[in-house]
């Protein structure tokens, strides 16, 4: 299991060093570059990111408050390992808030939004057909964000973004390939028809359908067997 971040790049630019360090580590966790249980050694992070240990400590404290990192006796900071039950709970909450967001977004979607969603579905279908699975995560993410960003509630959007930030991105494309295409199509059909209740229910069901498989995959990932 990796104990540090590989090829993450040095800190540059006007943002505070602690902000940038937290962002880099957060992204490494979310993309799976840092696995559950990986140690985050301050001295190695300081060397790799080109900053002192002060912003490293501040960034780790922020990530600990976010629930992405925890401090263990004799090990220091490590990436949090969620239980399958916790992963399932996250997706249950996501299904509730995103389902409601889809309901609110339905009357707000423009023709251009619907066209974007259908184009994303086509891209996902093509990537699945050609085995380009590693390119699926941003497409899935864009599909969901295109919908919930139109819900009209800044607070609801913030809650959804927070849920996404707490789960590794590499869960979403690894366990289901063809089902989301069909489910996405039904969601967009309902939205285009103006059926907000149906769109919200279908979005909730879509997230619930994948939650068990994702929880099982995360358990394998946390045990070191997620890439088999």
Tens-place pLDDT, residues 27-72: 888 777 887 788 999 999 998 888 999 999 999 999 988 888 998 8
- Residue 14's pLDDT band, with cuts at 50, 70 and 90, is very low
- Beta carbons of 202 and 179 less than 8 angstroms apart: no
For the chain, what percent of residues have pLDDT higher than 70?
A: 85
Residue 145 domain boundaries: 84-222
CATH number, residue 189: 1.20.120.530
One domain, residues 64 and 92:
no
- Do 40 and 114 reside in the same domain of the chain? no
Question: Is there a single domain that holds both residue 74 and residue 134?
Answer: no
Q: Quick check: is 161 in a domain?
A: yes
Residues 110 and 209 in one domain: yes
From CA 204, how far away is CA 208, in angstroms rounded? 6
Torsion of CA 182, 185, 186, 187, to 10 degrees: 120
- Residues 127-180 have pLDDT tens digits of 988 988 778 888 988 999 999 999 999 999 999 998 887 776 555 545 566 788
Structure confidence at residue 224 as a pLDDT band (50, 70, 90)? low
Do 74 and 180 fall within a single domain? no
CA distance 44 to 64: 18
Lowest mean pLDDT among 20-29, 80-89, 97-106, 138-147: 80-89
What is the count of structural domains for the chain? 2
Q: How far is CA 204 from CA 14, 101, 139, 184, 207, in A?
A: 40, 10, 19, 11, 5
What distance in Å separates the CA atoms of residue 25 and residue 42, rounded to the nearest whole number? 12
Which of residues 37, 58, 79 is at a domain's end?
Answer: 79
Residue 226 has pLDDT above 80, yes or no: no
Q: What is the CATH number of the domain that holds 36?
A: 1.10.10.10
The per-residue DSSP string of 55-99 comes to HHHHHHHHHHHTTSEEEETTTEEEE----HHHHHHHHHHHHHHHH
Indicate the SS3 state at residue 152. Answer: coil
Residue 32 lies in a domain: yes
pTM reported for the whole predicted model: 0.71
Do residue 99 and residue 183 come from a single domain? yes
In a domain, 7, yes or no: no
Same-domain status, 125 and 68: no
Q: Is residue 138 in some structural domain?
A: yes
What confidence tens digit (pLDDT) does each residue in 177-213 have?
Answer: 678 899 999 999 999 999 999 999 999 999 998 787 7
Claim to verify: residue 75 and residue 162 sit in the same structural domain: no
2 within some domain: no
pLDDT of residue 227: 47
């Amino acid at each position: 299991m990796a104990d540090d971040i590989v090829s993450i790049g040095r800190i540059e630019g006007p943002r505070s060093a602690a902000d940038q360090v937290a962002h880099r580590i957060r992204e490494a966790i979310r993309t799976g570059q840092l696995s559950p249980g990986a140690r985050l050694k301050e001295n190695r992070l300081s060397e790799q990111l080109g900053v002192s240990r002060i912003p490293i400590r501040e960034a780790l404290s922020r990530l600990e408050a976010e629930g992405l990192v925890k401090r263990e006796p004799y090990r220091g900071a490590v990436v949090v390992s969620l239980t399958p039950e916790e992963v399932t709970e996250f997706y249950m909450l996501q299904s509730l808030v995103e389902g409601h967001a889809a309901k609110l977004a339905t009357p707000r979607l423009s023709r251009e939004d619907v066209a974007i969603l259908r184009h994303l579905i086509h891209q996902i279908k093509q990537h699945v057909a050609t085995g380009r699975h590693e390119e699926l995560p941003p497409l899935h993410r864009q599909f969901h964000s295109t919908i919930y960003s139109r819900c009209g509630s800044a607070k609801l959007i913030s809650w959804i973004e927070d849920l996404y930030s707490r789960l590794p991105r590499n869960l979403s494309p690894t366990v289901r390939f063809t089902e989301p295409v069909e489910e996405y199509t039904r969601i967009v059909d309902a939205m285009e028809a103006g059926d907000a209740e149906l769109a919200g229910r279908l979005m909730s069901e879509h997230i619930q359908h994948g939650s068990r498989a994702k929880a099982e995959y995360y358990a394998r990932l946390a045990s070191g067997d997620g890439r088999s």
